[in-house]
Amino acid sequence: MQRGADSGPIPTIREIAAACGVNHSTVSRALSNSTLVSAATRERIHARAREMGWRPNPLASAYQAHLRSTRQPSYHATMGLVFDRAFRPGETKLPESIQSQLRAARRRAESHGYKLHFHHLQAHDANPAQLSKILVARNIPGIILHGFGQSSDLQGMDWDQFAVVEMKNYIMGQRFHR
């Protein structure tokens, strides 16, 4: 049944999908202009949806945006924070500035749906190759390096396995915007 713009209720995504011969998730992605759907398919679905009288509902869009912004992020992966010396999380012998950095890194990771596990070379007999194998075996795709002075400290790491971020300590106690 074909509908004009003013001839009846707005068609559902499933009705548009049936008319286009595609899955409803493809229609949803196409109507939100996702690049996961080819440009030709998006154009075909948009044209058919317009013929059927579909138009975006700004209230539904706003509600969905609100729902997405208030949901807890789902678990994505576990990240590794590789520390240059032995310590235990919560250890009070670490300077407060470093403890603060570690707490902030954990909070930030968790706010985006990641877990953060701490690792240090001394626990792996100062062997970066062994640490690299352990991180890969634990399915840890990204690491944060904290406090390493020279890259030679980490020779033997399989860098192709990881996304890497480096944190450095600075002598100054000033806070600067970066």
* Mean pLDDT, range 28-43, rounded to an integer: 92
What mean pLDDT is reported for the chain? 81
Q: 98-129: b or e for each residue (b if 16 or more CB lie within 10 Å)?
A: bbebbeebbeebeeeebebbbbbbeebeeebe
Cβ(118)–Cβ(102) below 8 Å: yes
Contacts of residue 6, defined as CB under 8 A and 6 or more positions apart, other chains included, come to 53
> In whole angstroms, how large is the CA radius of gyration of the chain?
25
pLDDT at 91 over 60: no
DSSP-assigned letter for residue 37: S
Identity of the amino acid at 154: L
- The residue ranking higher by pLDDT, 158 or 85, is 158
Helix (H) or strand (E) holding 77: strand 77-83
pLDDT tens digits for 94-152?
777 778 888 888 898 888 888 998 887 766 566 888 888 889 999 999 998 887 765 55
Q: 46-60, 123-137, 161-175 — which one is most confidently predicted on average?
A: 46-60
Q: Which residue has the tokens 């915007």?
A: 177
Query: Is pTM beyond 0.75 here?
Result: no
